[in-house]
Amino acid sequence: MKFSISEENYLKQIYLLQQDTGTVSTNNLAKELQAKPASVTDMLKKLREKKMVHYEPYKAFNLTEKGNRTAVHIVRRHRLWEFFLSEKLGFEWEQVHDIAEELEHVSSDTLITRLDDFLGNPRFDPHGDPIPDSSGKIYRQRQVSLSTLALNSPQSVSGVGDQSTAILELLNHYGIAIGVKVEVTRRFDFDGSLELQIGKKRHLLSHAVAKNIFVQYAQ
């Protein structure tokens, strides 16, 4: 089944939003897509006709099994392109998202399979998000927020929650990236900020930044 770029964007965003609660509201979807609620409603009706969403007016909704499979493959394409742009073309991690937003709509299965093989079948994109495999299976790693990490417990950065350009540029400034070893050496009760050791350098991070950095979970 063929989908327009707009339909694919909706399916992907619904998929991402429903990860937390299992359902999505029209207002939340409109906010994320920067669209008018009336436009969102019209699109949801179209997607319902294509059996992509379980939707009833004025109620929370989610993807059907068919819609979920379609969305996962869109996410797969997006994250593979992000990996390619970062690892093969040298783009910074704050630059790859917008470009991948365009490339993800090139839906050739042969192209994506060859891209995946060319990249060595990576499991995670440059931001630490899992890349679904060709069957839609997703490998999820165990991780915890840096804001809750025990003191003096060195761990590797495995993901970033807020992936806005602003915070990614800030993390670049601190030398924080996926795979970098970090250690919380002190935590301040006043505002939740913490002192972070990276190599031989120490940085002071706010709680707002720390809670968006995830590290590999280790007992």
Report how far residue 203's alpha carbon sits from residue 210's, in angstroms, rounded to the nearest whole number. 11
Share above pLDDT 90 across residues of the chain, in percent, rounded to a whole number = 93
The answer to whether residue 99 sits within a structural domain is no
What pLDDT does 130 receive?
96
State mean pLDDT over 182-193.
96
Q: Do the domain assignments include residue 212?
A: yes
Give the confidence band of 20 by pLDDT, cuts at 50, 70, 90: confident
Residue 205, domain member (yes or no) = yes
* CATH number (domain holding residue 41): 1.10.10.10
Instruction: Look at residue 83 and tell me if it is in a domain.
Output: no
181 domain-assigned: yes
Query: Residue 200: which CATH number?
Result: 2.30.30.90
Looking at 24, 48, 63, the residue that finishes a domain is 63
Q: pLDDT confidence of 219, banded at 50, 70, 90? A: low
Domain boundary among 63, 93, 111: 63
Number of domains in the chain: 2
pLDDT exceeds 90 at position 31: yes
Q: Which structure tokens are listed for 76?
A: 């797969």
218 pLDDT above the threshold of 80 = no
pLDDT per position as a tens digit, 55-81: 999 999 999 999 999 999 999 999 999
Residue numbers of the domain that contains 50 = 5-63
11 inside domain: yes
Tell me whether residue 129 is in a domain.
no
Of 28, 46, 63, which marks where a domain is finished?
A: 63
pLDDT of residue 160: 95
